[in-house]
Amino acid sequence: AQSVSQHNHHVILSEAASLELGCNYSYGGTVNLFWYVQYPGQHLQLLLKYFSGDPLVKGIKGFEAEFIKSKFSFNLRKPSVQWSDTAEYFCAVNRATGDSWGKFQFGAGTQVVVTP
Amino acid sequence: NAGVTQTPKFQVLKTGQSMTLQCAQDMNHNSMYWYRQDPGMGLRLIYYSASEGTTDKGEVPNGYNVSRLNKREFSLRLESAAPSQTSVYFCASGRVYGDTQYFGPGTRLTVL
């Protein structure tokens, strides 16, 4: 069963619109949280990550994400998207198991298309 | 730095054939990973190596084997390929297990 859920599989929006992508995970305890992006024809690359501290994290290219522990969520946001943000976005979670880390789990991904 | 490299980029196999996917990283990372990416399913972890000398099963290990040849190289072997193994395979590495992963360009495998 998928332990990391991304609510939208496909999002289409216009340039300058705001973007929010949901990510929820289904286990408690300490987690490391990541958002990765895959631009067309390119490698997956890290957008941002949360390990501890301020639950609002900022990443590259104007993206940010908020960790809400009570909701088991780590939603990605960008106030104003550009055509170049067209990509597939993946949420990933790794949870602590004892004094080490468990297996990484990725969400199914959200394909974002930004129209001019 | 080349980062994470994978060979081959594309491969077509017939059912029952075997092959090895190669992965190498030049970032002196301790951990390495193999994933498969299928439409609508995201990335699923096949095997990982938290550090040189160790390997562990991921979410979908059946039909695969791995070898952590040295700190730089982590190979994935399909002993008897099946059509269900048609996928895009990504290798990744990380400085330490649990931290950011750096991905290779992927291998697109088709099993007929």
> How many whole angstroms from its chain centre is CA A41?
19
pLDDT-derived band at B19 (thresholds 50, 70, 90) equals very high
Q: Is the pLDDT confidence value at B21 over 60?
A: yes
Q: Is the pLDDT confidence value at B1 over 80?
A: no
Q: What is the mean pLDDT of residues B9-25?
A: 97
Burial class (CB in 10 A: 0-12, 13-18, 19+), B3: middle
What pLDDT is attached to residue A8? 86
Chain A hits for B99, CB-CB cut-off 8 Å, are: 32
Cis-peptide into B8, omega within 30 deg: yes
Chain B hits for A9, CB-CB cut-off 8 Å, are: 40
Chain A hits for B58, CB-CB cut-off 8 Å, are: 103
Pick from B4, B45, B102: which is nearest to A104 by CB? B45
pLDDT-derived band at B63 (thresholds 50, 70, 90) equals very high
Q: Is the pLDDT confidence value at A1 over 70?
A: no
Pick from A90, A101, A105: which is nearest to B98 by CB? A101
First to last CA, chain A: 37
Please give the residue of chain B at the shortest CA–CA distance from A106: B43
Residues in chain A whose Cβ is within 8 Å of chain B = 4, 6, 9, 32, 34, 36, 43-46, 49, 90, 92, 94, 100-101, 103-109
Q: pLDDT tens digits, residue range A3-51?
A: 899 988 999 999 999 999 999 998 778 899 999 999 998 889 999 999 9
pLDDT-derived band at A87 (thresholds 50, 70, 90) equals very high
Residue A52: partners with Cβ closer than 8 Å, 6 or more residues away: none
What pLDDT is attached to residue A49? 96
Least Cα separation, residue A53 to chain B (angstroms): 16
B98 with A108: Cβ contact below 8 A: no
